[in-house]
Amino acid sequence: MPNSYISGLGHYVPPKCVTNKDLEKLMDTSDEWIVERTGINTRHWVDIENESTSGMGTKASLIAIENAGLKVSDIDFIIFCTLSPDYFFPGGGVLVQEQLGAGTIGALDIRNQCSGFVYGISVADQFIKTGMYKNILVIGSEIQSTGMDITTRGRNVSVIFGDGAGAAVVSATDELGKGILSTHLHSEGKFAEELMAKDRCCTTPKEMPFAAESFYPVMNGNNVFKHAVTRFPEVINEALTKNGYQSNDINLLIPHQANLRISQFIQRSMKLRDDQVYNNIMNYGNTTAASIPIALSEAWQKGLVNNGDIICLAAFGSGFTWASALIRW
């Protein structure tokens, strides 16, 4: 049975950078308030006339395919993870397939918000291990800036989120001990309304017949934080235990970039050094399904991910859903 490994990574963020000082002009907030509560300094927002969720995913995918040393024609399947699709239906996977010119390969969409990319990696891992496919494109892409209440009323949520895309090529290998060692997926739907957008199904609120209050995301921040700092260590330790490792064996933990305070709490609770945890939320905000692939791609680009390293991906978010993947690079 083949193993699966990540053969290529890529990411793309729109060029428009929005600082906390920029947000001060749009709502009653401050740079100090945002940094203290979230750790975020800047985020990237799209020009909606020139960008789309699928388009950003395609840009990230082309970089990942090139970094894998492959051609578009080598890709067998597409997994597209987002909460902000171009359309209510069809999903973004088929749009990426068309934009790539990838032939009539299958495309699957995953709507698991913050944990979407790790769920996507898990699905790709199983397809590879069964021998069904050899090279699978897993994409996380989000446009959230156009679906936020960018006023004082919505500041607790809107200052957190940014736009961007990341992609990974998951490929088959016969090399023993290399690649995705295990994945672990969980959910607890009784908390669905703690972090949700009740009537959101497009990326531009002006097109919606619903009241703005039901369109915009709502979040019980305290409850999300409380559950996140519990579930993150649980699911990370689940992966470590499954494979006979301990936290000090991790070369790099890449958590979903939800809030820098959450990541720091996890780091302290698991007794991890600064060089064992990669955070970039200060530069991009929370890009939901795109946050882990953007961070993983950036860390690899910086030389922080090397052959033989133990890499852990972990996410928690709306649903509630949470997940982890342990990888020997």
Query: Active-site positions?
Result: 114, 256, 286
Q: What backbone phi and psi angles, to 5 degrees, belong to 247?
A: -60, -30
| Residues contacting residue 269 through CB under 8 Å, at least 6 positions apart | 229, 233
217 with 195: CB under 8 angstroms? yes
84 with 53: CB under 8 angstroms? yes
Cα–Cα distance measured from residue 144 to residue 308, given in angstroms and rounded to the nearest whole number: 36
Report strand pairing: 106-110 vs 77-81.
parallel
In sequence order, the β-bridge partners of residue 79 are 108, 138
Q: Could you tell me the two tokens for 111?
A: 């709507």
Cα–Cα distance measured from residue 185 to residue 269, given in angstroms and rounded to the nearest whole number: 21
